[in-house]
Amino acid sequence: MTTLISFIIVLGILIFIHELGHFAVAKACGVGVEKFSLGFGPKLIGIKRGETEYRISLLPLGGYVKMVGEAAGESVSDELRMKSFTHKPVWKRVLIVAAGPTMNLVLAIVLLPVIFMIGIQLPVYLEKPAEVGYVVVGEPAQKAGIQAGDTIVEFGGREIKHWEDLLTQVAMSPSKKVELTLERGGEKIETAITPDASAETGAGYGGMYPPMKPVIGDVASGYPAREAGIKAGDTILSIDGLAIRHWAELEDVIHKSGKKIKLHVLRDSKELTFEVMPKYNEDAKVHLIGISRQEEVQVRQYGFTESISKGVTTGVQMTGKLFVVIKGLVLGEYSLKTLGGPIMIAQVAGKAAESGISDVLSLVAFLSLQLGIINLFPIPVLDGGHIVFFGLEAIKGKPLSEKFMTVAQQVGIVLLIGLMVLVTWNDLLRVFG
């Protein structure tokens, strides 16, 4: 029930804000609005105020604003001609159509700083001294001579007080040789590191981790670990006789495994052994067993100025990752199976509701940002497609033909329905395996 209610609330906010943008700008531009609906299909409840009927409809996966004279070829009486959408100048129609996705972007921009002011959950290790718990073989940290147990105290002339400082400096130094100072056994050692640049984000990566105990926090359904009987809270002691002391070491062994492995675990003071056949993941190009790490977290609140800065940075990062994923899907680097639909959103919304208001707002901001950007894509049916049509109309100096508009809309609808079928099918496969 929590999942369903959370899904309706999250989706309702996104739809309401989007349609409110269309509605408000349409009114401001003198366009008559006949209906303002949250949802599609048969009306559940409604009330009429002035010329507009405000309603909630049966199917919650969307909404619409029905404007006077909106449809191509729609007949409008002389009395309503001044309020007709199609009889307004092109620039006004562009403003009305663009207002929906713009409102979604504004919502994300407003929510992100608020989330940081309310407080977000962060790993506890971020505020601890930058003691290295594990060094990945063959990566920048090992090449620089850094070892497990070292504590980084200076990076590029800047004092490093905790892990957050170090991660920030490394991320800002991709492919740059940087001097650093570390402490080992009471002695200070000078060395240099050249962080690799992440293929996805371009940020610097050092290949070193803080201490992370190999304790399982969650076991995913449909994966070998759950089928074998492994549970959240288990501590991995060894894999095929190899002692495991760090989570990154555990990941490295599993990712490279191509055969059945034997996991020795500690559960409630008892040692147990499980045999697991890792599952190869085509997208990540590694083997997985479906476990995630148990992490100690704390809630951190930020001041007003810092929250705005954090919000802007997070928004930019979200936008960048969205385009990286879209590029990967287009080029075939990511499988279409990674796409999620309503069921996946409902599941995430349910988990967010259980975690607290900050996680719910984070989900709303994330989805609103995506909705705003994707809606501006030049695809028929989407707002961006309509804006392109209006641009072509302005260039031609006259409206596009009804036949062209009809065919374009039909193509857009087919694409949209196809996408909905795909993501829903992906959701069902995740749920039922």
Helix (H, G, I), strand (E, B), or coil: what is residue 256?
helix
Which amino acid makes up residue 319?
T
If we measure between CA atoms, which residue out of 230, 162, 160, 169 comes closest to residue 203? 169
Note if 74 is an active site residue: no
Contact 44, 57 (CB under 8 A): yes
d(CA 216, CA 295) in angstroms, rounded, equals 9
Structure tokens at 262: 């034997």
Tally the C-alpha atoms within 13 A of residue 349's C-alpha that lie toward its C-beta. Answer: 24
Residue matched to tokens 């977290």: 297
The active-site residue, picked from 19, 70, 154, 251, is 19
In the block, which residue shows the tokens 């609330």? 9
Q: End-to-end distance of the chain based on CA atoms, in angstroms?
A: 22
289 to 213, 235, 385: CA distances (angstroms): 18, 15, 43
The residues near 21 (Cβ < 8 Å, ≥ 6 apart) are 99, 100, 101, 102, 103, 104
For 195-199, the CB contacts below 8 A with 24+ separation are 195/140, 195/170, 195/171, 196/139, 196/140, 198/174
Calpha distance 14→148 (Å, rounded): 46
Q: Which residues contact 372 (CB under 8 A, 6 or more apart)?
A: 101, 102, 103, 104, 105, 107, 108
Distances (CA, A) of 76 to 50, 86, 345, 368: 19, 10, 40, 35
What residues act catalytically?
19
